[in-house]
Structure 1
Amino acid sequence: MHVSVEQAREMLSALLSPPGHETVPLQGALGRTLAAPLRALVSHPSATESALDGIACREADTLGATPGAPARLRVVGESRAGLPFPASVGPGECTRIYTGAPMPAGADAICPVEELLDDGPEHVLLRRPASPGDVRREGGDFRAGEEVMAAGLPLTAPRVALAAALGHQTLPVRRRFRVALLSTGDEVVEPGQLLRPGQVYDSNRYGLAAMLAECGCEVVMLGHAPDSVEALEEAVARSGGADLLVTSGGVSMGRYDFMRDLLIDHGRVAFWKVRMRPGGPAILGGWKGLPVIGLPGNPVSSLVVFHVIVRPALTGQPLQALTLRAATPFRALGDKAAFWRGVIRGGQVHDYGQQGSGILRSLSDADALVIVPEGQPVAVGDDVQVVLL
């Protein structure tokens, strides 16, 4: 059954059991996915405060102040973070104030320190009017009880910081998918070993393991299996407890594509082949209750299929594409969507040039995958959708 990229993504998502939820401390939240909305436990700022170092005063007392005719105010105290001024500021008065310090009662504006001149021990001269715009209002960022973060958000470093500012010590997150990873093929050799003619180092296993880690998955490394149904069955049997098995190699139409045979003859198949290039021979199915997606052995094909089909299913996040202007033409395929490697310069995308499925260096050098729909070539100057790498 040949399917589109969108159908492949939906079918893989349907095979995955919805992940449960767990609670983790803030220190362990980076890279996880928020499982429930977060509400603010406090307001931020918790009080109306100054955005600058300077003085807090009444705006009305400073209107018309210039370097040639400064306004003169009496200093009656200071306000600093953690130690606010305890009284009110009256007409003609001010307090020294520091960034983040609460505004004293009666004051409604700030004059920055660089616009001030001392006039004896108890007075200051303002060379311009004080500004209410330099006052941060209580709850200006968020208010207690407000829903600030939605379920499904990936927890980046700024979002972890925001969660802490909301007052949360622990966060509800999606449980990590447990994904078993297996590479196959008699020609595949562990990096560092002697490479004989016709052999290739196992780049897929390490590239896919890194991509799974980027998705926040717990990776079960099954190593490598040679080309035999028995070896595959033995390796797959060691993936107990996994939510998904990801394999590379053995899924095309050759005599020794045993991963394909294992699923077709002894398991079940949801689809075999995706209308895309690179990566068409991918297969999705199951074996003894375990969802299995078999990726092509060519390294570019394997990693591109993971990027556009597997990653969105595992993260729950749609494929993020943006629109750029094509600086070079990109050819279309009559019956497949193409994901050509591109290089971005000056806001435009250029064809990388070498688009073969075995040119792994191209994925390292390229900035994006350029999406060319079936039968719709892209000309110079056309707008085109790209997925950043």
Structure 2
Amino acid sequence: MRTNLSVEEALALVLAEARPYEKTEELPLREALHRVLAEDLSSLVDHPDQDDTAVDGYACRQEDTLLARPEAPVRLRVVGESPAGRPFLGQVGPKEAVAVYTGAPIPKGADAVIRVEDTRREGEEVLLLAPASPKDIRPKGDDLKRGEVYLKRGDLLTPARLGLAAAMGHPRLRVYRRPRVGILTTGDEVVEPGEPLPYGGVYNSNAYTLMGLVAEAGGEPVLLGKAPDDREALKERLKAEELDLLLTSGGVSMGEYDVVRRVLEEEGEVVFWKVRQQPGGPLLLARHRGVPVLGLPGNPVSSMVTFFLYGRPFLFALLGRTDPPYTRLRATALTPFKGAKGKKVFRRGILSFQEGLVVRTTGNQSSGVLRSMAVGNALVVLPEDQDKEAGQEVEVIPLTFVL
């Protein structure tokens, strides 16, 4: 077992546990939002499937319109119209025009479009106040070309990508199954919300914050309830489910009743324990019955921060996602941020934009102050042995993309 690792060393070992993931399913488009593609996706069609117009106006021959200007309009005979879905099937001849509407195919014989705002209609004729231009014609395949790959395996299906898959002609998509992530809270003092709170007890907030974080990262949270501070009871709970990742909360520190680490040492293999970071130093990585186990600290902030820094990247790597699990930015500190000796520190901050990115502290940085994660939207990263003063530039990791 390795111990006292740097953040970078610990993350590399966590990511090494993300073995190739082959669990897939096929879903209809309406059920595939926010899932991860399991195969490259190529277009089944050209889009547009022929030259079409990007504007409302009149399709005509450019050569007939070259001398058009407001004081000397060019007059063309309107021989038909071409709304989207009902193309004009005839041909445009000399001194003729067809009324076209955005998305409609360009009729045969036409090579230019004049915008409707540059025309004046007079009965069966249209007066052009400017020359027609081919620039408002979208060529066949301008957006999509049949057979070309536009979505990659590992792409998260955002609303725009889901629409792109539909535009390519795919009614169903092969996606990865959501990895099943067990969430097991430990501790005699932990009780469920709604139950009477005993003296010295705490409500089980970690299960629900982790449930949300797992779902947000693309996993399927499996709530395994609470295990008491008892080795045999914990061993029974660890047998409960078929999982792709197990998260335990609490029981990984150095106390007499921190039994998670001891059970995993007896029944599995502990890869590392303790990372030089704050909060979340007692983080543990193990394997139990072939399942990776992240032993998260019990303090609410430590539990959330360590999942965000290690559990979220693990799930992204497992799914082969093409987007990064989080983003690193630079911002100006509006308040001081205190570092720690020999540890990389992640302080909670409020990131905003005020003629540039700025960040201020959420206040009390104790790892038991869960409300700091509710009001904060970023982690301020401080290297070992470094404080930052107001006005200095700091590294920040947004917890949300809403500033």
With normalisation by structure 1, the TM-score equals: 0.93
What is residue 250 of structure 1 aligned with on the other side? 251
> Is 1:30 the counterpart of 2:33 in the alignment?
yes
Aligned residues of 1:16 and 1:244 also touching (Cα < 8 A): no
Unpaired stretches in structure 2, ≥5 consecutive residues? none
When residues 131 and 275 of structure 1 are mapped into structure 2, their CA distance, relative to the original with a 3 A threshold, is: farther
Paired residue for 1:382, among 360, 370, 393? 393
> Which residue is 1:304 aligned to?
305
Answer whether contact 1:21 1:172 (CA < 8 A) is retained: no
* Residue 217 of structure 1: aligned partner: 219
For 1:83, the equivalent position in structure 2 comes to 86
Question: In structure 2, how many angstroms separate the alpha carbons of the residues matched to 1:353 and 1:194?
Answer: 30
* Per-residue deviation, 1:376: 4.3
Whether the aligned pair in 1 keeps the contact of 2:278 and 2:345 (CA below 8 Å) is yes
Structure 1 residues 209-218 or 316-325, which shifts more?
316-325
What is the match of residue 351 of structure 1? 361
The code of the aligned residue for 2:164 comes to L
Contact 1:17 1:243 in 2 (8 A): no
CA contact (8 A) 2:270 2:286 kept: yes
Mean CA deviation greater in 324-333 or 343-352: 324-333
- Taking a change above 3 Å as real, the CA distance of residues 334 and 128 of structure 1, as seen in their structure-2 partners, is farther
| More moved, 40-49 vs 377-386 | 377-386
Q: Aligned partner of 1:323: which letter?
A: L
Q: 1:202: Cα distance to partner?
A: 0.6
- Larger mean CA deviation between 342-351 and 31-40 belongs to 342-351
Query: Residue 237 of structure 1: SS of its match in structure 2?
Result: coil
Q: Which residue of 2 aligns with 1:368?
A: 378
The alignment partner of 1:245 has SS state of strand
Give the distance between the partners of 2:109 and 2:261, measured in 1 at CA: 77
Provide the residue aligned with 1:280 in structure 2.
Answer: 281
Aligned partners of 1:273 and 1:280 also within 8 Å: yes
Alignment of 1:338 with 2:345, yes or no, is yes
- After the TM superposition, which residues 179-198 of structure 1 pair with which residues of structure 2 at under 5 Å, given as runs? 179-198=181-200
Q: Give the Cα–Cα distance (whole angstroms) in 2 for the partners of residues 62 and 370 of structure 1.
A: 62
2:149 corresponds to: 147
Give the Cα–Cα distance (whole angstroms) in 1 for the partners of residues 37 and 250 of structure 2: 34
Q: Deviations over 1:314-343 (max 9, x none)?
A: 122433223232133433333222221121
Please name the residue that 1:321 is paired with: 327
Conserved? CA contact 2:378–2:396, under 8 Å: no
- Tell me the secondary structure at the aligned position of residue 260 of structure 2: helix
* Residues 1:139 and 1:383: Cα distance change in structure 2 (over 3 Å): farther
CA RMSD, aligned part only? 1.9
Please report how far the alpha carbon of residue 102 of structure 1 lies from its aligned counterpart in structure 2 after TM superposition.
0.3
Alignment partners' CA distance in 2, 1:59 and 1:94: 10
> How far 1:94 sits from its partner (Å)?
0.9
Please name the residue that 1:111 is paired with: 114
Determine the structure 2 residue equivalent to 1:128: 130
- Judged with a 3 Å threshold, the aligned counterparts in structure 2 of structure 1 residues 364 and 129 are, in CA distance, closer, same or farther, namely farther
Query: Which secondary structure state, in structure 2, belongs to the residue aligned with residue 204 of structure 1?
Result: helix
Task: Report deviation, 1:63.
Answer: 3.1
* Partner AA of 2:331 in structure 1: R
Moved more, 20-29 or 70-79: 20-29
CA distance in 2, matches of 1:382, 1:282: 28
CA shift, 1:191, in A, is 0.7
8 Å Cα contact 1:9/1:310 also seen in 2: no
Q: Give the letter aligned to residue 155 of structure 1.
A: L
Change (3 A) 1:64 1:330: farther
The CA deviation at 1:100 is: 0.8
Identity %: 49
Q: Which amino acid aligns with 2:349?
A: G
Alpha-carbon distance, 1:16 to partner:
3.7
Letter of the 2:178 partner, please give it.
R
Q: Does the CA-based 8 Å contact 1:319-1:387 persist in structure 2?
A: no
CA distance 1:6–1:101, change in 2 (3 Å): same
SS in structure 2 at match of 1:238: coil
3-state secondary structure, aligned to 2:66: coil
Amino acid at match of 2:217: C
Given that residues 113 and 132 in structure 2 are in contact (C-alpha distance below 8 angstroms), is that contact kept between their aligned partners in structure 1?
Answer: yes
CA 1:378–1:43: 2 relative to 1, 3 Å: farther
Are the equivalent residues in 1 in contact too, given 2:349–2:359 (CA < 8 A)?
Answer: yes
Match of 1:143, as an amino acid? K
Q: Look up the equivalent residue of 2:232 and give its one-letter code.
A: E
Per the alignment, residue 203 of structure 2 pairs with 201
| Preserved CA contact (<8 Å) 1:276 1:336 | yes
Which digits, 9 at most, give the CA deviation of each residue in 1:38-80, with x for residues without a partner?
Answer: 1111111111111122211223333353333322211111112
Is structure 2 residue 96 aligned with structure 1 residue 93? yes
Contact 1:332–1:378, Cα closer than 8 Å, also in 2: yes
* Secondary structure of the structure 1 residue equivalent to 2:328: strand
SS of the residue aligned with 1:321?
Answer: coil
Matches of 2:217 and 2:57 in 1, distance apart? 47
Contact residue 19 and residue 176 of structure 1 kept, 8 A = no
**TM-score (norm. length: structure 2):** 0.90
C-alpha displacement at 1:271, in angstroms?
Answer: 0.6
